[in-house]
Amino acid sequence: MKLGIVGLPNSGKTTIFNALTGANLETGLASGGRFEVHTAVVNVPDTRVDKLSGMYKPKKTTYTQVTYQDIGGLDKGVAEGGLKGQLRNELSQLDGYLHVVRAFEDENVPHPYEDVDPARDIEILDSEFLLTDLVTVENRLERLQSELRVKGKTVDKAVPDEIDLLERFKAHLEAEKPLRDLEDVTPDQLKSVRGYGFLTLKPVLIVLNQGEELRDTSISYDHRHSAVVALQGKIEAEIAQLDAEDAEMFMEEYGITERSASRVIRLSYELMEIQSFFTVGEDEVRAWSVAIGATAPEAAGAIHSDLQKGFIRAEVMAYDDLIEAGSEAAMKSTGKFRLEGKEYIVKDGDIVHIRFNV
């Protein structure tokens, strides 16, 4: 899962990247729209993994992960005519976005629109993404309609269906609504247009980047597959550079019970509509990612393709039941240890062992 950190100049994108990943990239004034990408992979905090590791005491403990990209190059007016080139290509390949919105005052860091106004800044970047998608839709429609005129009845039967879908997309975008808000689009239809990399189809987490002094920055962002969270970016970035003991002392001084960065990472994960299941044992306790609604064979495939091909049964324990029982042996005596077949829908927190034959 790869998420891009985007935002207007001087919103603190790199500060948020440092806070989430523990990187120590130099921050400063915007670089005039110069295209840059920095990448880091982070573990998704999960206390369930910690407890399972304490129970099984494995040689190795592995968390699910999120990849973040700090993407520079968005500048004032950058999308006049739609985002283009390398920046457009990079954004289209991501699974979703963390939109960093400035909610802090700093006279040493000028705002490109002079004053701090989170709602306005959100609308500006949304409009740039909307315009980019609209240009993509119009260009594709022009090519498809030309193909339909030339080939007539011999045209591929998928072409009229795609034209109908893109006409719906066009009307939606012209109404200044992101494509992720469009209802009644089937998974097959979404798959058919996946290659176009529509930006407004992807989930968005709005990150309000606050300063040391918290402000009332309540933002209404009523869109599907979206969420809003506040983060004191500078403070969180400083904590990320400390060792565990110093970080704990720092958090106590500021009255911080949990790093907001950890919450942002979890929200990033949840926003993608994926869930975790676990495999456990003396060698390794590991969290795996699957889409919500995945079947047991699909979960097996997340571990290894051979397990999906040779799937026979899944031995399943619910995490809460195992913790309540206190051990796997006690769990089996409760009658809640289950054997599930190919139709079983994996639940978040399931502990799974795959029986297979290849």
- Calpha distance 67→17 (Å, rounded): 11
Mean pLDDT across the stretch 122-138?
93
Beta bridge partners of 192: none
Q: Which CATH class is domain 293-356?
A: alpha beta
User: Which of 27-31, 140-144, 175-179, 321-325 has the least mean pLDDT?
Assistant: 27-31
Task: Return the H-helix or E-strand segment holding 71.
Answer: strand 65-72
- pLDDT at residue 258, as a whole number: 72
Computed on alpha carbons and rounded to an integer, the radius of gyration of the chain in Å comes to: 23
pLDDT at residue 325, as a whole number: 93
Domain positions in the chain are: 293-356
3-state secondary structure 123-186: HHHHHHHHHHHHHHHHHHHHHHHHHHHHHHHHCCCHHHHHHHHHHHHHHHHHCCCCHHHCCCCC
Q: Does the structure show a pLDDT above 90 at 220? A: no
Sheet-wide strand order for 284-291 = 60-62, 284-291, 274-279, 350-356, 311-318, 338-340
Q: Tell me, what's the pLDDT at 264? A: 85
How confident is the model over 281-312, as pLDDT tens digits? 999 999 999 999 999 999 999 999 999 999 99
For residue 165, is pLDDT > 90? yes
Q: Are 239 and 219 in contact (CB under 8 A)?
A: no
Instruction: Return the axis-axis angle of helices 244-254 and 233-240, rounded to nearest 10°.
Output: 150
What does the pLDDT average to over 145-163?
Answer: 88
pLDDT in tens, 36-79: 889 999 998 899 999 999 999 999 999 999 899 998 767 665 55
- pLDDT for 205 beyond 90: yes
Maximal CA-CA distance, the chain:
73
pLDDT band, residue 80 (cuts 50/70/90): low
Mean pLDDT of 10-23: 90
Q: pTM of the full predicted structure? A: 0.85
pLDDT bracket for residue 332 (50, 70, 90): confident
